[in-house]
Amino acid sequence: MRARGLLKTTELFTEVVAAQSGFGSVTALRVHLRAATGTTPAGYRRSLHRWQISSVNARTRRYRSVDVFGSSDLKPSVRYG
């Protein structure tokens, strides 16, 4: 399905994807995609994004701890000053 390819490879608005895929409206695309994949266009893109991130992590075997508050328990290996 052309819509899946556009959702996967572009960041086009859903309206543009629907028009370029031959659907009359975003609603028609949403109904068709939900029937085919079980998810909405936005959910389809999110699932692809998660898969890409997890496959990169699996290949590189790199794991990072992210502190959302900006502080870090890590000590710098080089002293400045």
Q: pLDDT by residue (tens digit) across 62-77?
A: 545 444 455 445 444 4
- All structural domains of the chain, each given as residue ranges with its CATH number in brackets, are 2-59 (1.10.10.60)
Helix axes 41-60, 2-9, angle to 10 degrees: 50
d(CA 45, CA 8): 6
Q: What's the chain's length in residues?
A: 81
Rounded Cα distance between 69 and 43, Å, is: 28
CA angle 79, 70, 11 (to 5 degrees): 115
pTM over 0.75: no
pLDDT digits (tens, 9 = 90+) for 46-64: 888 765 555 555 555 554 5
Q: How many helical (H) and strand (E) elements, i.e. helices and strands, does the chain have?
A: 4, 0
